[in-house]
Structure 1
Amino acid sequence: MKDGVNGVALAVFLFFFLAVTVMGFLAARWRKAENEHSLDEWGLGGRSFGTWVTWFLLGGDLYTAYTFVAVPAAIYAAGAAGFFAVPYTILVYPLIFTFLPRLWSVSHKHGYVTTSDFVRGRFGSKGLSLAVALTGLLATMPYIALQLVGIQAVLDVMGLGGGESTHWFVKDLPLLIAFGVLAAYTYSSGLRAPALIAFVKDTLIYLVIAVAIIYIPIKLGGFGAIFDAAGDAFAQENPATGKPRGALVPGEMGQWGYATLALGSALALFMYPHSITATLSSRSRDVIRRNTTILPLYSLMLGLLALLGFMAIAAGVKVTNGQLAIPQLFENMFPDWFAGIAFAAIGIGALVPAAIMSIAAANLFTRNIYKDFLKPDATPAQETKVSKLVSLLVKVGALVFVLTMDKTVAINFQLLGGIWILQTFPALVGGLFTRWFHRWALIGGWAVGMVYGTAAAYGVASPTQKHFGGSSAEIPGIGEIGYIGLTAFVLNVVVTVVLTFVLRAVKAPDGVDETHPSDYTADAGDPGVAAELPEITEGIGEGDARKDGDKAPA
């Protein structure tokens, strides 16, 4: 690490930061609607984004600064095991192609803003809706915090982090300023701000990756030399565990963990509120379909990005905090001016998802806690005002998280967030194709998955952390190490199915379904679009005991 502040890199970083700040405030006038005081306008950009805006928005939303820092950092620390992010982003797109268009259609028809809105409407259960909303809030908070951690890592490498003896306020002042700017333009412009800034963010990221994947290997003697250096480094013993530091190829013992983590992460990715918020902002279901076919381009970029972890080893980067490995690699290998561009890409890559996540969390609170339980007669203007204020509070909470907790703890709490959010899958995705599941059974399955997942994750220790030290543990009955979230999900589904049979048998009261089969299959005003998938429960739900006025399952 260079002594003092890297003035050239900092100047370039500030140029891009100021540019996106201006764009963030100007975004309030971009596609401005007559009725701007509504949650649809502030929280979903008026549901008006086309294919390219949605593509950049989803890319900026899903491929965060944490992704660009943490994936190669995992490769740097442990080797091939960190590549799990690549197959899971490949698996996720065929999966979401089957259900996101249906979610968009029914949400557009009924004005749903959040997944909890849909769950409440589909199953007629405010309790289930509240469970989904609280899970979304719980899982999103540490995720926002980690975006700020990404910004902090860049500031530290540029020399703005201060020393250990520096007063905390002086040390964290640059982060506080970045947070204040993010909060201000998100409050002012809503989802339009990250949608506009995402163009800059993705352009910078692609530029930096294209240069890094060519320039750095040339300086290090080629990929052969890089892999040789990484192989030698991973063969060395880790003093904390007494085992090799990592491996270029996952060992037999780690294959179950690798596969279950990739599959579980793929199932969980589009359960996050910010993923759904970006999806519902698009103007048609065809936009969603097209995006599922072109978003895999980001997976190609992610695969190249992951190789930076090996490059950091070959370049002799030595850091105690793995999150600093890639920023430090950029500072060591690039000219100062281009290092500034790379730092700007990471920093802006944190601002875009942090803004979307805070908006998504605020929408959940406003629609599914404030409106459902505190003020049912809230006007659209009141909803928007509350959502703006909550978006600020969510970011303040994330900032406190970053400033007061150990960063390793923050990372593992984000892994815990993935375990939690996966437990909403049966209610959301299951509800899009069937209403056979009973609302009370879904709550029971969710509770079992949440309790098991949290308890199992709490029991995982690491060399640096006694509890919540990871997200993998032994799978009961199999004996292999696997992703806790997927195990909890399987338990969730089993409990939901068993309880549904029981509740149907005793004719427990069912909630009112406010949706109709045609709501799931076509764009608004385009009834000629055929359904992709038929209702899978025709003839199964005779035990529904539906009330007068209930609508048939879609």
Structure 2
Amino acid sequence: MVVGVALLAGVRRPSHDELPHPARWALGGRGLGTTATCLLLGGTVYTSYTYIAVPGLIFGTGGLALYALVYTMMLSPLIMIMLPRLRDVAARHGLVTVADYVRARHDSHPLALATALTGILATMPYLGLQVVGLTAVLQAMGLTPTGVAGCAVLTLLFLLFALFTHPGGLRACARVSFAKAGLIGTAVIVLLALVLHRLGPPGEVFTLAALRSKATGQPFGVPMQGFSAYATLAVGSALAQLMYPQVLVVAMASRSKHTLRAATTYLPAWSMTLGLWAFLGVAALAAGVQTQAGHGELAVPTLIGQLAPDWLAGLLFGAIAVAGLLPAVLMAMSMAMLFVRNVYVEYLNPTATPKHEVRAARGPVLVIMAGAVAFALLMKPQDAVNLHLLGGVWILQLLPAVALSLFTRFFHRRALFLGWATGMVAGTALLGLGRFSSVVDVGIGSLHAPVYVAVTALALNLAVAAVLTPVLEALKVPRGTDVTADGAAWERRGSKYAFVVE
């Protein structure tokens, strides 16, 4: 019922006087106001898995999990520094995807293709995690996600949400974001009231949770020897979040850079909401919630089942479902547009019209959503988390070509490509050798410290790009034409490797 209400919020008769265009379907005509931008941006960053995983990590690992709150608080200043610039460049030159920006800025087909494929590959596990979040809800409701009933419910939820929202594109998602914000805010207030009523005031909850946590050896504080891991996880995660295509799409869809900045000032309210959800992980400890080993994501759904009557638990679970379905559709839309504009049109059909691009992108949205359901159901939750960790390492390697290039033209396009390749290979290798540990030991001589793998790979990426740039300049290797240096609209040209599909 809750999901149905959210879907009805996004339904609106399409306007027949508008011709289909990628900037209208994927970016809402670049007309999102302050409120819509804030709710859609927050609704994209703060997913159902976020609301389940953060308290689940606190329940299972203690205070180290609070890095998630730190990195979300860091998002607002980082967004204000970077995304308004990207939004203005995209609007001025008619760019729709981040790979469009890379093509226009660096005049490099290989680098643009690398950006598109990295965005797609890194976002797919992120989308899969939304399914994992919903499987936790289904398990708390007594449904086996891999069973016939559970699989049918998951597939129906995702496909219905895609079918209701994807014809209207980003505008439909923006309308649904109002419903999501209201549902999540109401849900956390109700849950906090239940916790305080059943377990007592916050001081007693923390005291009881600390006693139970002490027995497991997971302190609420951050140990000093883990501070470098904590800091690099927070910084690296914040920077990586800005590179995901769904976040960049929302930023480019805002009405102006001033609108985007105004919307960003309200994002800390979302972080405060996440902090309240994180408290539910403490409450789960205090309530003595029991979950399978290694399945902390079940802590909050199980807590809801213990504290709330069945009818109320169903409404709360519906709110969590909407929290995952909205960003899932946005992820699928952004991946579909990257594939269509920067792979299909670029290399297979350079003469495609804007109308054809929109039609070609709508189909893959459904395919991607169905693939995400299969991806999550066929894998163990920990494997999905591991792949998302790998996706975070990959997406951060786009930072030099996208974020840094907004402020400097120092890096040569070929140096950026080779730096990206180095970071991708190094990050993947470090994760594999470390058995998917999120941190790696970095040291010189007797000095050693645990550092987030993605930050280590990014450092290698930047080092290669910085060293090779003066070498390529000395060899007089052409830089290419920076179209974003003037105010002219970008005229896309097909790759020389393209061939037309009749």
Which of 80, 101, 105 lines up with 2:88 in the alignment?
Answer: 105
Give the aligned partner of residue 269 of structure 1.
Answer: 241
Q: Is the 8 A contact 1:129 1:368 kept in 2?
A: yes
* Residues 1:84 and 2:53 aligned together: no
* Residues 1:217 and 2:186 aligned together: no
Give the aligned partner of residue 474 of structure 1.
Answer: 441
Q: Is the 8 A contact 2:21 2:355 kept in 1?
A: yes
Q: Is the 8 A contact 2:441 2:449 kept in 1?
A: yes
* Residues 1:177 and 2:156 aligned together: yes
Which of 122, 128, 135 lines up with 2:118 in the alignment?
Answer: 135
Q: Would the alpha carbon gap of residues 188 and 297 (structure 1) be closer, same or farther in structure 2, given more than 3 Å must change?
A: same
Return the offset for 1:517.
Answer: 5.4
Which of 304, 309, 323 lines up with 1:330 in the alignment?
Answer: 304
Q: Is the 8 A contact 1:27 1:192 kept in 2?
A: no
- Structure 1 residues 445-500: Cα deviation after superposition (integer angstroms, max 9, x where no partner): 11111111111111233xxxxxx3x3112124352112101111111111111011
Give the aligned partner of residue 220 of structure 2.
Answer: 248
Give the aligned partner of residue 281 of structure 1.
Answer: 253
RMSD between superposed Cα atoms in Å: 1.7
Q: Is the 8 A contact 1:161 1:171 kept in 2?
A: yes
Q: How does 1:317-396 map to 2 (within 5 A)?
A: 317-320=289-292, 321-396=295-370
Return the offset for 1:101.
Answer: 1.0
Give the aligned partner of residue 290 of structure 1.
Answer: 262
Instruction: Please give the alpha-carbon distance, in whole angstroms, between the structure 1 residues aligned to 2:327 and 2:466.
Output: 35
Q: How does 1:411-422 map to 2 (within 5 A)?
A: 411-422=385-396
Q: Is the 8 A contact 2:54 2:68 kept in 1?
A: yes
Instruction: Please give the alpha-carbon distance, in whole angstroms, between the structure 1 residues aligned to 2:277 and 2:96.
Output: 33
Specify the SS of the correspondent of 1:481: strand
Instruction: Please give the alpha-carbon distance, in whole angstroms, between the structure 2 residues aligned to 1:27 and 1:357.
Output: 21
Give the aligned partner of residue 506 of structure 1.
Answer: 475
* Residues 1:403 and 2:377 aligned together: yes
Instruction: Please give the alpha-carbon distance, in whole angstroms, between the structure 2 residues aligned to 1:88 and 1:171.
Output: 33
* Residues 1:50 and 2:33 aligned together: yes
Specify the SS of the correspondent of 1:480: strand
Which of 314, 319, 343 lines up with 2:286 in the alignment?
Answer: 314
Task: Give the TM-score normalised by the residue count of structure 2.
Answer: 0.93
Q: Is the 8 A contact 1:28 1:192 kept in 2?
A: no
Higher relative contact order (CA 8 A, sep 6+): 2
What are the ranges of 5 or more consecutive residues in structure 1 without an aligned counterpart?
Answer: 1-14, 238-243, 462-467, 521-554
* Residues 1:193 and 2:165 aligned together: no
Q: How does 1:425-464 map to 2 (within 5 A)?
A: 425-461=399-435
Q: Is the 8 A contact 1:49 1:282 kept in 2?
A: yes
Return the offset for 1:95.
Answer: 1.5
Return the offset for 1:259.
Answer: 0.7
The farther-off stretch of 224-233 and 424-433 is: 224-233
* Residues 1:257 and 2:229 aligned together: yes
Q: Which amino acid aligns with 1:263?
A: V
Give the aligned partner of residue 494 of structure 2.
Answer: none
Q: Is the 8 A contact 2:41 2:250 kept in 1?
A: yes
Instruction: Please give the alpha-carbon distance, in whole angstroms, between the structure 2 residues aligned to 1:437 and 1:34.
Output: 44
Q: Would the alpha carbon gap of residues 148 and 195 (structure 1) be closer, same or farther in structure 2, given more than 3 Å must change?
A: same
Return the offset for 1:391.
Answer: 1.4
What are the ranges of 5 or more consecutive residues in structure 2 without an aligned counterpart?
Answer: 490-502
% identity of equivalent residues: 42
Return the offset for 1:33.
Answer: 6.7
Q: Is the 8 A contact 1:119 1:428 kept in 2?
A: yes
Q: How does 1:137-156 map to 2 (within 5 A)?
A: 137-156=120-139
Q: Which amino acid aligns with 2:130?
A: Q
Specify the SS of the correspondent of 1:310: helix
* Residues 1:16 and 2:2 aligned together: yes
Instruction: Please give the alpha-carbon distance, in whole angstroms, between the structure 2 residues aligned to 1:71 and 1:493.
Output: 31
Specify the SS of the correspondent of 1:288: helix
Q: Is the 8 A contact 1:268 1:422 kept in 2?
A: yes
- Structure 1 residues 381-404: Cα deviation after superposition (integer angstroms, max 9, x where no partner): 111111111212221221121121
Which of 423, 443, 455 lines up with 1:486 in the alignment?
Answer: 455
Task: Give the TM-score normalised by the residue count of structure 1.
Answer: 0.85
- Structure 1 residues 246-298: Cα deviation after superposition (integer angstroms, max 9, x where no partner): 11101122111111100101111110000011111111111111012111111
Return the offset for 1:299.
Answer: 1.2
Specify the SS of the correspondent of 1:159: coil
Q: Is the 8 A contact 1:78 1:234 kept in 2?
A: no
Specify the SS of the correspondent of 1:189: coil
Task: Report the number of matched residues.
Answer: 485
Return the offset for 1:187.
Answer: 3.3
Q: Is the 8 A contact 1:55 1:291 kept in 2?
A: yes
Q: Which amino acid aligns with 2:351?
A: D
Specify the SS of the correspondent of 2:451: strand
- Structure 1 residues 284-324: Cα deviation after superposition (integer angstroms, max 9, x where no partner): 11111101211111111111211111100111111112211
Instruction: Please give the alpha-carbon distance, in whole angstroms, between the structure 2 residues aligned to 1:318 and 1:40.
Output: 48
Q: Is the 8 A contact 2:427 2:453 kept in 1?
A: yes
Q: Would the alpha carbon gap of residues 123 and 33 (structure 1) be closer, same or farther in structure 2, given more than 3 Å must change?
A: farther
Q: Would the alpha carbon gap of residues 40 and 319 (structure 1) be closer, same or farther in structure 2, given more than 3 Å must change?
A: same
Q: Is the 8 A contact 2:155 2:370 kept in 1?
A: no
Q: Is the 8 A contact 1:154 1:343 kept in 2?
A: yes
Q: Which amino acid aligns with 1:506?
A: L
